[in-house]
Amino acid sequence: RKEVEQDPGPFNVPEGATVAFNCTYSNSASQSFFWYRQDCRKEPKLLMSVYSSGNEDGRFTAQLNRASQYISLLIRDSKLSDSATYLCVVAKAAGNKLTFGGGTRVLVKP
């Protein structure tokens, strides 16, 4: 079983719609959780950290469910520029080595 699993998609999303997807992780000792965004042929960029209480950054909302060992990302009012691959990333502690999921591809269409 992979340490971090994601639905590869693609999720085809009409512009303005809401899309949500999850990521599951296998290591219960994981302490730090992140969503990164990666555009084609580019490096990953941190989208947001995921906190236990859940957090929101503009149109993006992340949730963590430790009991079921998954995190989620919800994107509201999708923009064309949201089209990217979203990488779920887990670490045992802040600053430690990161374990990446395979990514979920999102395509926002007009």
Question: Is residue 99 within the footprint of other proteins (CB under 8 A)?
Answer: yes
Question: Is residue 1 within the footprint of other proteins (CB under 8 A)?
Answer: no
Member of 21, 60, 70, 100 binding other proteins (CB under 8 A): 100
Site string for other proteins, 7-26 (x = CB under 8 A): --------------------
- Return the number of the residue (29 or 67) whose C-beta is nearest other proteins: 29
Does residue 10 have a cis bond before it (omega within 30 degrees)? yes
Question: Is residue 97 within the footprint of other proteins (CB under 8 A)?
Answer: yes
- Considering the complex, what minimum distance in angstroms separates the CB of residue 95 from other proteins? 4
Two structure tokens written together for 50:
């995921």
- Considering the complex, what minimum distance in angstroms separates the CB of residue 10 from other proteins? 11
Residue ranges of E strands in 1-69: 4-6, 11-14, 19-25, 32-38, 45-50, 55-57, 60-65
CA 38/CA 52 separation, integer angstroms: 24
| Cα end-to-end distance, the chain, whole Å | 37
Member of 12, 46, 54, 59 binding other proteins (CB under 8 A): 46
- Return the number of the residue (18 or 31) whose C-beta is nearest other proteins: 31
